[in-house]
């Protein structure tokens, strides 16, 4: 039995992850801004009274994150794995640019993970082991039209994880990033284009859950074709890659 803390657990992939982890017998703390008001989570906490706890958190605020870490640590006497899954997405063309949206995506898709890792690391060091997993995105590989406000913080998250990995590994703290493609959730409901290789939230949650058993694998990425295509775009000269992305306008 492991103790998991899932942040961004009230809908979509995070909610499915809670279900998968409970089904495997893990103890789970499910967090989001609306965790304690989420009907599905409330139902699950009745079905799993000894294994599920709900804690509200808004990852945009330092003090709140600090207090939540303290609270969560006390629930099951520590945490084995923290999964940072919180994320928001606003698609914007130049005419729609809105500073509040940029700031929100930066705070939640990137800074929230930094905030949490900063608070968790001393606890992991104290218990002499830890495991932190972030849900990134294949959008972090290359900035695509209208999605820069979302993908730039995801790229920062990837870069941050690369940079933190060696030191954390020395301290017996595993760090993993999951970069997956499109999943049918409320987040992608905003997209008005056909999303290639679209996955369902429960499939995605199962893949992420399986990856937790291989903590030394730094990057977990799927689906195969889409992730390889975007990696290829990154490797091309800009004269070519930007011409290709312009054709997606
Ligand atoms: N769907 C995709 O195609 C796709 C692709 C690649 C990566 N991802 C990533 O996968 C993760 C989950 O996305 P999803 O598609 O499942 O979206 P979702 O259904 O909208 O879930 C997002 C979760 O983040 C939580 N959240 C948002 N703002 C928060 C905040 N300030 N503090 C704490 N929690 C917050 C939400 O809960 P509350 O609103 O209750 O706070 C919700 O539980 C995100 O990081 C997303 O970037 C998604």
Joined tokens for residue 140: 């972090």
pTM of the predicted model as reported, rounded to 2 decimal places:
0.97
Q: What is the pLDDT of residues 81-105, one digit of tens each?
A: 999 999 999 999 999 999 999 999 9
Residues shown for the chain: 249
Give the E-state strand segments of the chain in sequence order.
3-7, 27-32, 52-56, 81-84, 130-135, 173-180, 219-222
Q: What is the pLDDT of residues 20-70, one digit of tens each?
A: 999 999 999 999 999 999 999 999 999 999 999 999 999 999 999 999 999
What is the phi-psi region of residue 176: left when phi exceeds 0, alpha when psi lies from -120 to 50, beta otherwise?
beta
How far, in Å, is the centroid of ligand 1 from the Cα of 240? 32
Among 128, 42, 134, 118, CA closest to 85: 134
Closest ligand 1 atom to Cα of 35: 40
Site to substitute for ligand 1 among 58, 86, 226, most atoms within 8 A of C-beta:
86
Site to substitute for ligand 1 among 87, 88, 113, 139, most atoms within 8 A of C-beta:
87
Residue whose CA is closest, atom 1 of ligand 1? 183
Q: Distance between CA 54 and CA 5 in Å, rounded? A: 10
The answer to whether 174 and 168 are in contact (CB under 8 A) is yes
Ligand 1 proximity of 11 Cβ (cutoff 6 Å)? yes
Ligand 1 proximity of 111 Cβ (cutoff 6 Å)? no
């Amino acid at each position: 039995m492991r103790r998991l803390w899932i942040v961004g657990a009230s809908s979509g992939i995070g909610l499915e992850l809670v279900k998968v982890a409970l089904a495997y017998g893990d103890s789970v703390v499910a967090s989001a801004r609306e965790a304690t008001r989420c009907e599905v989570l409330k139902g699950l906490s009745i079905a799993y009274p000894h294994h599920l706890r709900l804690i509200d958190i808004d990852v945009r605020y330092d003090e709140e994150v600090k207090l939540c870490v303290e609270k969560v640590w006390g629930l099951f006497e520590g945490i084995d794995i923290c999964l940072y899954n919180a994320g928001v997405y606003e698609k914007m063309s130049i005419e729609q640019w809105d500073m509040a949206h940029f700031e929100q995506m930066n705070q939640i898709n990137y800074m929230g993970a930094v905030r949490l890792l900063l608070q968790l690391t001393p606890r992991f060091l104290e218990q002499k082991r830890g495991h932190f997993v972030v849900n990134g995105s294949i959008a972090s590989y290359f900035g695509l039209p209208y999605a820069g406000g979302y993908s730039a913080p995801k790229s920062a998250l990837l870069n941050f994880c690369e940079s933190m990995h060696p030191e954390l590994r020395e301290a017996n703290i595993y760090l993993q990033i999951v970069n997956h493609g499109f999943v049918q959730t409320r987040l992608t409901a905003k997209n008005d284009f056909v999303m290639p290789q679209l996955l369902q939230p429960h499939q995605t949650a199962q893949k992420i859950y399986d990856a937790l058993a291989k903590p030394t694998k730094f990057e977990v990425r799927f689906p195969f074709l889409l992730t390889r295509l975007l990696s290829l775009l990154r490797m091309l000269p800009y004269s070519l890659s930007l011409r290709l992305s312009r054709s997606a306008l």
